[in-house]
Amino acid sequence: MDICELKDLADPAFDPHIADDVAFGAIENPWPIIADFRRKSPVCEGEYRNLFGGGGDPTLADLKHYTVWGYDEVDAVLSDAGLFSSAIAHKRNAEKAFGRILVVMDPPDHTRYRKFLQHAFSPKPVRQWTENLIRPVIHELIDAFVDTGSAELVEQFTYRYPFEAVFRLLDLPASDVEVFHKLAVVQTLSIANFVTEGTEAGNNLAEYFRCLIRQRTENPGEDMVSQLITTEVDGERLDEEILVAFLRHILNAAGDTTYRTTGSLLTALLTQPGLLDALRRDRDLIPLAIEEVLRWEGPVVSNFRTLTRDHELGGVKMEGGSVIHAVQGSANRDESKFADPDRFDIHRSRKYRHFGFGGGIHMCVGTHLARLQLKEAINALLDRLPNLRLDPHAPPPRIKGFNFRTPDQLRVVFD
């Protein structure tokens, strides 16, 4: 049987956490700047990253860019895959790092392959993962600090529990977990300033997964790799290229966004007087808090597409072939749809949906899993950490980033 070797980066000292600040920004409060752009015009010429001083995507430097701020306009971009192509947009960056994942597909390929992941992430297996993998991971992590009376929840909890659940879901050898986690994070940086490192990380993971697929084909287990190898939809199985791409993407899709959202949710709960206690008394409020944080501080602020033909949106004429940046975070705080949009309010009207999970055909396929992970995490913390509160002697948490958002630390104390 093959021994699957997971190769680290050629530069093993490369730190993806430092690079994250460079790639996605360390700004704490981008919302007044975003609101100012939105109020001036729902659409403007220019690249989102450049407008924020983050430096443009080097893989798209030769193209014209427009940024979309308004709710209705963002909805239009995300809803029309024929006019706003995801496949063209990501050909130069994300596809190189991850392979042909759903994010880089348009119909009919997207329609065809999404069925496989919908099958994998259907309610029955998700419930089983929650009970057998996610819940034990959450409690094991809390076990490590529950008797100390204090914790730094980002390092000790939010950053770890979604990823460690995925490690178990894939049934990875413990010796590979640290490098695997690092490479998966570095892949994401390929859409920003670190194309070389992101592509290298993706290639190393691809080689590793091809070996795992050979192993699990010969000796299938209960893990997701084995499940995807054997899954049939309409009499078809996934070919190796697509399967490898899906597996390269799963840690980011199921881990990174959940870790970021959990940190932002805890920040909201810990900084608003009485809110955490209200959830402790009435656990039915937790789903409301989850939906509100996805609107208020969703993990991904902006996404992009390529315009397939000349088109006018928000009163702005845009040239076909241009890159269109749909700022989901701006739409989620559009005052024409959400009253007092900068306020975290779990009881606000649900008349308008948020874009915390994206929109259109590219709506996150793992939404059910993400909501369950968040609910399990908050319930466990409330159950096991009495009188949970911010550490009064530590700096307050800071949610940061102009594209991917999460707090850098959450120092807490409890009884």
The answer to whether residue 337 is domain-embedded is: yes
The answer to whether residue 227 is domain-embedded is: yes
The answer to whether residue 397 is domain-embedded is: no
The answer to whether residue 2 is domain-embedded is: no
The answer to whether residue 396 is domain-embedded is: no
The answer to whether residue 199 is domain-embedded is: yes
Domain containing 129 equals 16-387
The answer to whether residue 171 is domain-embedded is: yes
The answer to whether residue 414 is domain-embedded is: no
Output the domain CATH number for residue 266.
1.10.630.10
How does pLDDT run along the chain (415 residues), one tens digit per residue? 568 999 999 998 888 776 666 667 778 999 999 999 999 999 999 999 888 877 778 888 899 999 999 999 999 999 999 999 999 988 887 887 788 989 889 999 999 999 988 888 888 888 888 899 999 999 999 999 999 999 999 999 999 999 898 889 999 888 888 898 888 888 877 766 677 888 899 899 999 999 999 999 999 988 889 989 988 888 889 989 999 999 988 877 778 889 999 999 999 999 999 999 999 999 999 999 999 999 999 999 999 999 999 999 999 999 999 999 999 999 999 999 999 999 999 999 999 999 999 999 999 888 888 999 999 999 999 999 999 999 999 999 999 999 889 999 999 999 9
pTM score of the predicted model: 0.93
Domain count, the chain: 1
Taking alpha carbons only, the member of 390, 409, 388, 391 closest to residue 400 is 409
Taking alpha carbons only, the member of 159, 154, 178, 183 closest to residue 167 is 178
Name the residue with tokens 């029309």.
Answer: 80
pLDDT at residue number 405: 92
pLDDT at residue number 374: 96
